[in-house]
Amino acid sequence: MKTVIQRVSKASVTVDGQVVSSIGYGLLVLLGIEDADGKEDIDWLSQKIVNLRIFNDDDGVMNRSVLDTGGDIIVVSQFTLHALTKKGNRPSYIKASKPEVAIPMYESFVEKIEQDLGKKVGTGIFGADMKVELLNDGPVTITIDTKNKE
């Protein structure tokens, strides 16, 4: 699994002109899934995200997690995180899982994040043409690939 995690002051996802999720202070998580990903990746990544100390403490040092701050999370599926760009100028998405694999993995990831965070998590709509709006706070943007966890 590949993720781009952005600390946000606010974020929202709109589909067909309707806002389907919105949060204030928290994290926007873009999630890419490949066939090699499994439950171990879900569990590890969820724990990593909710405990990632990228929020400022009282001294202005990034020393607090989204759990510590009571912030919210939106998780948006994004197959383009698995783009291969080595050859030519048109990215290949061959490594990204097909919907029949990716949808259950995405749903399991969202459920795990909700368990670890202790509250409902916002989502996009898998496979939809989504408009994601955010106000990046910092800016703070972190990438994590579960294939590099060791």
Catalytically active residues, by annotation: 78-80
Q: Do 28 and 8 touch, CB atoms closer than 8 A?
A: yes
Q: How far apart are CA 37 and CA 90, in angstroms?
A: 25
Burial 81-114 (b: 16+ CB within 10 A, else e): bbbeeeeeeeeeeebbbeeeebeebbeebbebbe
